[in-house]
Amino acid sequence: MPRSETTPVAAICREEALAKINLSLHVTRRRPDGYHELDSLVVFAGPGDRVEVTPAVTDPAKWNTVFEEGPAKRDLHVSGPFSDALAQESDNLVQRAEHQFREAFGSPPARLHLQKNLPVAAGIGGGSADAAATLRALSRLWKLSPEPKKMAALALKLGADVPVCLSQRPVHMSGIGEKLAPLAQMPALHLLLVNPGIALSTPAVFRSLKNTEIRKDTGRSHPGRFSSMDELTGWLRSAGNDLEAPASALVPEIGEILHLLRRQQGCLLARMSGSGATCFGLFARAADTHRAEAVMKTAFAGGWVQPVEAAARVSAPG
């Protein structure tokens, strides 16, 4: 495929990769191909990771040559507090996203910098969010406007959680992650994320999920909007996370975190996100979040404790 006939819009493009938080998660089906279908309410909160992309070749006259010689060395520099967890990886989702973007759209190669601020294998979509941020950054770098369906299909090839991370909007997610229904309204959220410092394999959690814990139908309606915190927490209290029990059996610290979070002043709800081991507390006020942060840092000194904010979302009418 020939390269895109474009020049970069800037010397560098940056995209934030926010933490993906499953406020609720129900497993509705185990498919014959091994995938699980889910029903989940997802929000995004920051600060998170950051992806930066720059042209790998600064001379536009050489772009065709580099591309036609085959996949160039995909330079990736990783920094940040959790960079060591990726040090042994020869190829990760950010690199795969760059490679597949070039194959899909014929763009020149790019150099990548990932600032890894979120823990790895933590149930908050770090790798998926990084891949989605890479796709967005490359689109901006090369001044491309891919069709949303093509971009979503490319994201799904990279992983089931990547499509939902493209828009970083509150959504109801179903299927294996490809069916997305954006919410028209969501209040601002004050959240405290707590991880015990233990990486937890998603496949291991799903293998531990019992057939009796898989719901054939959630039997619950999905509001298109949540206009207040009371409305949201009322709905969430009737939901849950089906992966919380199998994950807690593998990492008992999850139960300890949730128990302590629920005892904190102003905590409206405490739950595990995704396949764990990160848990979140939803708080009434930012001040309550920071008060709880001090308690959790003392109790889980070897873990990761981070207050985050999910901005309010109100879609334009029509």
Q: Is 236 part of any domain? A: yes
Residue 73 scores a pLDDT above 70: no
Band (173; pLDDT cuts 50, 70, 90): very high
Lowest mean pLDDT among 92-96, 126-130, 225-229, 310-314: 310-314
- pTM for the model stands at 0.91
Query: Which pLDDT belongs to residue 212?
Result: 62
End-to-end CA distance of the chain: 39
**Which of 180, 209, 232 finishes a domain?**
180
Choose between 89 and 102: higher pLDDT: 102
Sign for the CA dihedral angle at 18, 47, 130, 27 comes to: negative
As for how many domains the chain has, the answer is 2
Beta strands at 110-115 and 76-79: parallel, antiparallel or unpaired: parallel
Q: Is 7 part of any domain? A: no
Q: Is 210 part of any domain? A: yes
Task: Check whether residue 41 and residue 127 sit in a common domain.
Answer: yes
Task: Check whether residue 22 and residue 35 sit in a common domain.
Answer: yes
Query: Which pLDDT belongs to residue 9?
Result: 61
Q: Is 275 part of any domain? A: yes
- Of 130, 161, 242, 288, the active-site residue reads 161
Task: Check whether residue 192 and residue 161 sit in a common domain.
Answer: no
Alpha helices in the chain (DSSP H): 63-68, 93-105, 126-141, 148-158, 162-167, 202-208, 229-237, 244-250, 253-262, 286-299
51: nearest Cα among 114, 9, 94, 138: 114
Q: Which helix (H) or strand (E) holds 304?
A: strand 304-310
Helix then strand then coil, in percent of the chain rounded to 5, is 35, 30, 40
- 161 flagged as catalytic: yes
Query: Which pLDDT belongs to residue 1?
Result: 38
Query: Which pLDDT belongs to residue 256?
Result: 98
CATH code of 55's domain? 3.30.230.10
Task: Check whether residue 251 and residue 267 sit in a common domain.
Answer: yes
Task: Check whether residue 134 and residue 213 sit in a common domain.
Answer: no
Beta carbons within 8 Å of 88's beta carbon, 6+ residues apart: none
User: Taking the CB of residue 216, how many other CB atoms lie within 10 A of it?
Assistant: 7
Task: Check whether residue 175 and residue 186 sit in a common domain.
Answer: no
Band (216; pLDDT cuts 50, 70, 90): low
Domain containing residue 284: 182-314
Residue 46 scores a pLDDT above 90: yes
Band (317; pLDDT cuts 50, 70, 90): very low
Task: Check whether residue 214 and residue 248 sit in a common domain.
Answer: yes
- Of 20, 39, 116, 130, the active-site residue reads 20
DSSP state of 30: E
- What is the spatial distance between Cα 95 and Cα 76, in angstroms, rounded to a whole number? 7
Q: Give the tens place of pLDDT for each residue, 259-293.
A: 999 999 999 999 999 999 999 999 999 999 999 99
Task: Check whether residue 17 and residue 135 sit in a common domain.
Answer: yes
